[in-house]
Amino acid sequence: MNTSHPAPGQTPEAQFGRRVAARLSAGTDALPHDIGERLRVARAQALARRKLPARAAPVVVASGGGTATLGSIWWTRLGAVVPLVALVAGLISISVWQEDQRTSELAELDSALLTDALPPAAYTDPGFAQFLKSEAAQPQ
């Protein structure tokens, strides 16, 4: 096999593979018959599993045969923007709802403090905190 002039259109990998195959085939004459057959089968399997060159991807042509109209371009852009607008609106509504919940919780706490029998100043007194700790420590 003449390896000095590669066939036109062959990749370097294919050229290298052909040179290696030629070298391997040249040394098989001195091997026993059963080893030579196993090598032949292994080469056939390797050729069956080799990577074939990638074919060009098929070209997709829009059906209808015409160009996109201005209306369809706007609908496509609108279809891309609507989910984003819905996401932003959802996030804003969740934020408003959470703020409303927090405000109502604080209002309930304030009303409970103001309607309690103790004055609000009692809660800030260090002695009251000590009283609460001693009450919690006593068994009932």
pLDDT tens digits, one per residue of 44-65? 888 788 766 666 667 666 555 5
Query: Where residue 2 falls among pLDDT bands split at 50, 70, 90?
Result: very low
Whole-structure pTM value: 0.36
CA distance 64 to 87: 34
User: What average pLDDT score do residues 14-27 get?
Assistant: 80
| Identity of the residue numbered 17 | G
Handedness of CA 124, 125, 129, 132 (dihedral sign): negative
- Characterise 138 by phi-psi region: left (phi > 0), alpha (psi -120 to 50), beta (else): beta
pLDDT tens digits, one per residue of 66-116? 555 667 788 888 888 999 999 999 999 999 999 999 999 999 988 887 887
DSSP H helical ranges for 27-69: 33-49
CA torsion angle for 7, 12, 17, 18 (degrees, to 10)?
20
